[in-house]
Structure 1
Amino acid sequence: MDRSRVSTGTEWEEHVGYSRAIRAGDTVRVAGTIATDDDGAVVAPGDAYEQTKHAFGIVADALADLDAAIADVVQTRMYVTDIDEQARVGEAHSEFFADVRPVATMVEVSGLAAPEAVVEVEAVARVE
């Protein structure tokens, strides 16, 4: 089976030994992604809506690097530190996936890798 991977070059990828995204055959999986800028700083600290949009933008870039697109996404997962933000997170999700409508899961967690991060997202895509 062919296997391709994408790295965004963050220190955590090298330190932990993971890839931002991997394509194995016709499936692309994008690792848990928080909203960070090119220097690794969290974008829009505490703002669930903006962080969700930014994180899914990173996901879209990783998919494109593996010849996939948002339209190919079949599953998303969203981890939030405050479930009361679910409407705002869902609003941002809808801006990417309203026409795609993948299966989606949102769960509340006690914390994420960066204290300023309030949302982490994952995606799975299938490419024909």
Structure 2
Amino acid sequence: MKRTNISSSSPWEEKVGYSRAVKVGRTIEVSGTVSTDNSGEVVGLNNAYLQTKFILLKLENTLKQLGAELSHVVRTRIYVTDISKWEEVGKAHAEMFLEIKPATTMVEVSKLIDPKFMVEIEATAIMKE
């Protein structure tokens, strides 16, 4: 099967050895994504809703690069540093996925790679034949 790797040019990709997303056949796996813009600045500092919304827009853009769309997402995994913010995170997730309703998990973690990040999301998409 053909494999396509997508890079975001994040400095972490080379340090850790991973891709932003990998497509094999009809399946796309999107790596954990945080709320940074193209210059590496955090979007939505101290705002879980804005960070989540920006992450999901980045995820949508990554899928489009591979010929997919949000409707192909079957699973999201949401990591938050403060589970008490679940409603803010959930609101942004619902705005993007209310009709799609992928399987999802939201868990609290002790910290992410940068203390400015409140949310990290990864996703699995399966394209139609």
Matches of residues 89-104 of structure 1 in structure 2 within 5 Å? 89-104=89-104
For the aligned residue pairs, the C-alpha RMSD in angstroms reads 0.7
Q: Paired residue for 1:87?
A: 87
C-alpha distance in 2, partners of 1:14/1:25? 24
Residue identity in the other structure for 1:86: W
Q: Paired residue for 2:48?
A: 48
Residue identity in the other structure for 1:14: E
Deviating beyond 3 angstroms after TM superposition, the runs of 4 or more aligned structure 1 residues are: none
- The answer to whether residue 85 in structure 2 is matched with residue 70 in structure 1 is no
Q: 1:83-124 CA deviation, whole Å, 9 max, x = no partner?
A: 000011000001110110000100000000111000000110
Q: Paired residue for 2:61?
A: 61
Deviation at 1:28, TM superposition (A): 0.3
- The answer to whether residue 106 in structure 2 is matched with residue 106 in structure 1 is yes
Deviation at 1:41, TM superposition (A): 1.6
Percent of aligned positions that are identical = 46
CA contact (8 A) 1:42 1:114 kept: no
C-alpha distance in 2, partners of 1:18/1:90? 27
C-alpha distance in 1, partners of 2:28/2:40? 23
C-alpha distance in 2, partners of 1:32/1:105? 13
Could you say what secondary structure the match of 1:29 adopts?
strand
Number of residue pairs matched?
128
Residue identity in the other structure for 1:16: V
Gaps of 5+ in 1: none
Residue identity in the other structure for 1:68: A
Return the TM-score normalized by structure 2: 0.97
Could you say what secondary structure the match of 1:37 adopts?
coil
Return the TM-score normalized by structure 1: 0.98
Q: 1:53-108 CA deviation, whole Å, 9 max, x = no partner?
A: 00111111111111111010000010000000001100000111011000010000
Deviation at 1:5, TM superposition (A): 1.2
Gaps of 5+ in 2: none
CA contact (8 A) 1:5 1:66 kept: no
C-alpha distance in 2, partners of 1:68/1:21? 12
